[in-house]
Amino acid sequence: MRVRRFLALSAAGLCAASLGACSYGPSTPSSRYAAKIRANPMPELATLYQRHVDVDNTLAVMANENERMFLQDLGRVFYTDRPSRLTREPIPW
C-alpha cells in the first residue's frame, strides 16, 4: 500500500515537473528578445530610408536655412538690405 502511494505521488510529481518545464511565456529571455525584435525590426532606421544621423542632419540644415531666411526677412523689414536714400551722393547697390 505504501509503495503504491509512493509510486502514485512520484508519477504525479513527474507529470507536474514535465508540464512546468515545457512552459514558454513572456518571462523567458528568448521571448523577450523576440518581442524586442518584433517591436522594432530595423532599429538603425528612423524613417523608411533614413538613419537617425540622416534625420538629425536634415533637421540641422533646415534650422540653419530657416534662421538665415528669418534674418534676411528682418533685414527687409528694417530696410538694412539697401543703402539709405537720404545721402547726398549716389551710392550704387
The tens digit of pLDDT for each residue in 43-85 reads: 888 888 999 999 999 999 999 999 999 999 998 888 777 766 7
Is residue 34, in this structure, part of any structural domain at all? no
Are 61 and 69 spatial neighbours (Cβ–Cβ below 8 Å)?
no
Is residue 74, in this structure, part of any structural domain at all? yes
Is residue 59, in this structure, part of any structural domain at all? yes
The tens digit of pLDDT for each residue in 83-93 reads: 667 767 776 76
Is residue 66, in this structure, part of any structural domain at all? yes
Range of the domain at 55: 41-79
Is residue 58, in this structure, part of any structural domain at all? yes
From 61, 59, 62, select the one nearest 47 (Cα to Cα): 59
C-alpha to C-alpha distance for 91 and 93, rounded to whole angstroms: 6
Enter the C-alpha cell of residue 25: 511565456
Total tally of structural domains belonging to the chain: 1
